[in-house]
């Protein structure tokens, strides 16, 4: 087994294999939710095929409604959120800690071949004010490769470009991407694996030029007590963006004590 910590420190991301049963359950919930919405003659019971060939039988005008209703379903379900956490937990404990905060909303991406509407230019999530202390847990529901997936670069290139974006106005983000294009590559991962990455590693996606649709989920985790609004004041904190998980007794005792003191002062 590879050393996850070393791998992550070297690359800024790692690809790991959680318990397959959990990922199957996650995928099954999404499959049955979407299948109910599809008004088509789709009879094949193969889930891989259902997702990969989704663009062949789903109408693109229904895509937003399908995405939205599935997003609502998974985010109302405590069971789904817990499955997501359980899939990533052993790896988060190694990379982040064992007292965690989880993003309140799990995102679902559906990227059909040639779709120009769901593109994400090269970015770091920190550009939008997200915490550099968080990781993104990215779960592909199908095998991803080349433009069906997302692109990454090295921590060294990310550092260099982040530095130019934050401290230099000479080029905008798009120009910096074009200048450094050769230093980016598409990540390859199969269903059964998850990608955990630091949002400081520059990433994005392009038009999907394969003949398969990508379905993937993403959700952010961080150490409960690490800083939230580091770069600018944002809503990316508890209770707006994150919820606490597994609060340890001493953290509760400490915060309760601080609350008592605060009440006294007021």
Q: Point out which residues bind Fe ion (CB under 5 A).
A: 125
Closest CB 127 distance from Fe ion, rounded Å:
9
The DSSP line for 28-58 is: HHHHHHHHHH--S------HHHHHHTHHHHS
Tokens 């891989």 identify what position? 48
Nearer to Fe ion, 125 or 193 (CB): 125
Nearer to Fe ion, 134 or 223 (CB): 134
Whether the Cβ atoms of residue 192 and residue 20 lie closer than 8 Å to each other: yes
Closest CB 196 distance from Fe ion, rounded Å:
13
Closest CB 186 distance from Fe ion, rounded Å:
15
Nearer to Fe ion, 125 or 212 (CB): 125
Closest CB 59 distance from Fe ion, rounded Å:
28
Nearer to Fe ion, 52 or 162 (CB): 162
Nearer to Fe ion, 31 or 197 (CB): 197
Cβ density class 184-221: b for 16+ within 10 Å, e for less = beebebebebbbbbbbbbbbbbbebebebbbbbbbbbb
Of the candidates 107, 100, 95, 122, the one whose C-alpha atom is nearest the C-alpha of residue 198 is 95
Closest CB 13 distance from Fe ion, rounded Å:
12
Closest CB 218 distance from Fe ion, rounded Å:
8
Tokens 């499959």 identify what position? 31
- Report the distance separating Cα 248 and Cα 157, nearest Å: 38
Nearer to Fe ion, 204 or 244 (CB): 204
Nearer to Fe ion, 49 or 109 (CB): 109
Tokens 């990608």 identify what position? 195
- Report the distance separating Cα 245 and Cα 224, nearest Å: 8
Of the candidates 197, 205, 220, 219, the one whose C-alpha atom is nearest the C-alpha of residue 15 is 197
Closest CB 197 distance from Fe ion, rounded Å:
9
Of the candidates 149, 148, 150, 152, the one whose C-alpha atom is nearest the C-alpha of residue 183 is 152
Residue nearest to Fe ion (CB): 125
């Amino acid at each position: 087994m590879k050393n996850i910590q070393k791998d992550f420190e070297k690359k800024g991301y790692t690809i790991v294999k959680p318990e397959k049963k959990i990922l199957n359950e996650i995928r099954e919930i999404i499959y049955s939710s979407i299948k109910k919405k599809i008004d088509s003659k789709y009879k094949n019971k193969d889930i891989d095929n259902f997702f990969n060939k989704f663009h062949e039988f789903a109408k693109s005008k229904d895509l937003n409604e399908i995405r939205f209703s599935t997003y609502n379903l998974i985010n109302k379900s405590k069971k789904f959120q817990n499955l997501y956490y359980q899939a990533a937990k052993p790896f988060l404990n190694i990379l982040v800690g064992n007292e965690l905060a989880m993003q309140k909303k799990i995102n679902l991406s559906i990227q059909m071949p040639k779709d120009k509407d769901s593109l994400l230019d090269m970015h770091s999530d920190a550009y939008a004010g997200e915490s550099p202390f968080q990781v993104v847990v990215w779960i592909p529901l199908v095998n991803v490769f080349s433009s069906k997936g997302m692109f990454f670069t090295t921590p060294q290139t990310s550092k260099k470009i982040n530095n130019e974006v934050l401290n230099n106005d000479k080029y905008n983000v798009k120009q910096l991407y074009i200048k450094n294009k050769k230093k980016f590559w598409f990540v390859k991962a199969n269903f059964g694996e998850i990608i955990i990455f630091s949002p400081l590693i520059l990433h994005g996606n392009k038009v999907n030029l394969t003949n398969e649709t990508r379905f993937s989920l993403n959700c952010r985790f961080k150490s409960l007590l690490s800083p939230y609004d580091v770069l600018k004041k944002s809503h990316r904190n508890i209770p707006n963006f994150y919820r606490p998980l597994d609060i340890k007794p001493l953290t509760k005792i400490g915060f309760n004590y601080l609350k008592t003191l605060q009440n006294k002062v007021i």
